[in-house]
Amino acid sequence: MRFIIGLFLCLVCSQVSCVKKLLLIQAIYRHGERTPTSIMPNDYFTEEKWPGGFEQLTLKGQRQHVALGKLVREKYKDFLPEIPDHRQIYVRSTDTARTIKSAMANNLGMYPKNESNPLWPDEHLIPVFNTPRPEDDLLFADNPCELHDKVWRLAKTIPKVRKILDKPEIFANLTEFMGKNVTDANFWEVWSAIKCEKEAFPDEFEARTPWYNEDLWQKILKINRGIQDFQVGKGLDGIILENYDIGRTLKSLRIGTLLNDLNDRMIAKVTCNMSNDTQKSATCQKLDPLKFLAYSTHDTTIYALYAALHLDELRFPEYAAALYIELWQETEADRQTFFRIIHYRNDTDTLDNVVTRNIPECFDDFCDLSIFRNYSLYYQPDRVRKEWCDISSFSPKIFNFAFFAGFLLLLIVD
């Protein structure tokens, strides 16, 4: 009855002020403002009109992450080391210039130039690690996957998904305007290019885009929002087609690996922290000093994480949006473990927006760690993603109500 006991302990702690210790922070943030990733053939705002070309972090984007890093430093100044130590801080990015530069800018915000330290920046540089995109199944939610494509095709037969996509006149008009066939697969490129151009060229955009009007833009926003929601499985859990639970499979494919990475690290951190062994394992020797881990990634990855944790009130991530997942442990009694999630919406926000209690099974800002574990297990891929994506070798599980009921039972008795 851990779920009920956990709720009881939360209520008791709120009454007697149980002392908790912060053990670990895991940050997942989107890159800052960027130039378009691509444009359509008929677009006036070609690559040479964008400083640095396509897919690049803008100066504003750099400033957004410097500002976020400063907020992180201020909030966690009593937890983070005064001078960064690679044993205590780890930063990884996807293999793109905009995410790598965002991570670098964020790091500089956390550890800015200190006039009293003549060794700056040598002692303040934090390395940013990355993995080539084809091999990075942790942070690239959109890496090619045959199984994802198959399940998404099935999803498009569901009436509420079809309702969003069944707009032949809009798709036909955009195809004519863009000079390229516009489909659900590349619709985000239309939305992204227009959004970037409106912001970068406010005085010139409408004159150079005579077909644009606000009514059409609102329709584009609605369609794109629907595609974004359904592609991460929102609202599709429990819909079974060809033995696939559409929502669960989409979430597992897009975020299951990352969700379990975050969970496994927290579990291991707690285990190491509780260990009395004089001879620490290699894992504990690495994890014991770790205080802060950051992943610099993309909007679709973060949105899939929102969806998997059922943080449904959070909108599609803006530039520099972030989640900070904190791991806490009581210092007395049974040393119960908790997680707390802080959401950062954009560069007008603070780091005071705790969203943990918006997760359906959480009733406090500090939620029992077993709840996070149960979500990670529910969306855990049953094999390496590359093997899972290979349709020829994959036989789908029958994800049905009985399985979902089992998941709910975990929440109650585990």
In a domain, 117, yes or no: yes
| Coil, strand or helix at 204 | coil
How far is 410 from 414, CA to CA, in rounded Å? 5
User: What are the tens digits of pLDDT across the range 95-144?
Assistant: 999 999 999 999 999 998 776 556 666 667 899 999 999 999 999 988 99
Q: Provide the pLDDT for residue 279.
A: 74
Edge-to-edge strand list for the sheet holding 128-130: 128-130, 89-93, 292-297, 20-30, 322-330, 337-344, 367-368
Range from 15-24, 136-145, 396-405 that averages highest in pLDDT = 136-145
Read off the pLDDT of residues 24-40 as tens digits, 9 standing for 90 and up.
999 999 999 999 999 99
Confidence of residue 2 (pLDDT cuts 50, 70, 90): very low
The mean pLDDT value of the chain amounts to: 89
Cβ–Cβ under 8 Å, residues 261 and 412? no
**Does residue 156 sit within a domain?**
no
Task: Identify the three-state secondary structure at position 340.
Answer: strand
**Structural domain includes residue 185:** no
* Whether the predicted pLDDT of 405 surpasses 60: no
Question: How far, rounded to the nearest angstrom, does the alpha carbon of residue 22 sit from its chain's CA centroid?
Answer: 22
In a domain, 199, yes or no: no
Domain assignment present for residue 140? The answer is no
pLDDT at 333: 73
Residues 6+ apart with CB under 8 A from 80: 72, 73, 88, 89, 110, 291, 292
Which of 95, 90, 87 lies closest to 27, judged by CA? 90
Query: Which of the two residues, 289 and 281, has the higher pLDDT score?
Result: 289
Radius of gyration of the chain (CA): 23
Q: Is the pLDDT of residue 412 over 90?
A: no
Tokens 């599709």 label which residue? 236
CA distances, 269 to each of 92, 206, 394 (Å) = 19, 53, 34
Q: Which residues contact 12 (CB under 8 A, 6 or more apart)?
A: 18
Average pLDDT (198-211) is: 94
pLDDT value of position 325: 98
Whether 263 is covered by a domain: the verdict is: yes
pLDDT digits (tens, 9 = 90+) for 353-398: 999 999 999 999 999 999 999 999 999 988 888 888 887 765 665 4
Q: Note the pLDDT of residue 392.
A: 72
Q: Is the pLDDT of residue 3 over 80?
A: no
DSSP 8-state symbol, 230: H
Distance CA 133, CA 334 (A): 43
pLDDT at position 116 is 55
In a domain, 313, yes or no: yes
Q: Indicate whether 339 belongs to any domain.
A: yes
Residues 35, 54: contact at Cβ < 8 Å? yes
Identity of the amino acid at 229: D
State how many domains the chain has. Answer: 1
Which residues are CB-contacts of 382 (< 8 A; sequence separation ≥ 6)? Answer: 388, 397
Q: How far is CA 200 from CA 35, 57, 254, 267, 352, in A?
A: 9, 13, 31, 44, 30
Please count the other Cβ atoms lying within 10 Å of the Cβ belonging to residue 175.
15
Q: Which of 241, 260, 273 is nearest to 398 (CA)?
A: 241
Which residue, 153, 133, 130, is CA-closest to 143? 133
Separation CA 37–CA 55 (nearest Å): 4
The yes-or-no verdict on residue 84 having pLDDT over 90 is no
pLDDT tens, position by position, 305-352: 999 999 999 999 999 999 999 999 998 878 899 999 999 999 999 999
Say if CB 157 and CB 244 are below 8 A apart.
no
As a whole number of angstroms, the distance between CA 62 and CA 98 comes to 9
Q: What is the domain range of residue 313?
A: 2-128+255-379
Of residues 112 and 253, more confidently modeled: 253
Query: What pLDDT was estimated at residue 53?
Result: 94
How distant, in Å, are the alpha carbons of 5, 13, 373 from that of 331? 18, 12, 21
Does the structure show a pLDDT above 50 at 404?
Answer: no
Residues 143, 136: contact at Cβ < 8 Å?
Answer: yes
Residue 259 · residue 308 · CB < 8 Å: yes
Percentage of the chain exceeding pLDDT 90: 77
- 276: pLDDT confidence band, cut at 50, 70 and 90? confident
81 pLDDT above the threshold of 90: yes
* 302 against 391, higher pLDDT: 302
pTM of the model: 0.90
Q: Quick one: average pLDDT of 197-223?
A: 95
**Euclidean distance between CA atoms 117 and 111, whole angstroms:** 12
CATH number of the domain to which 371 belongs: 3.40.50.1240
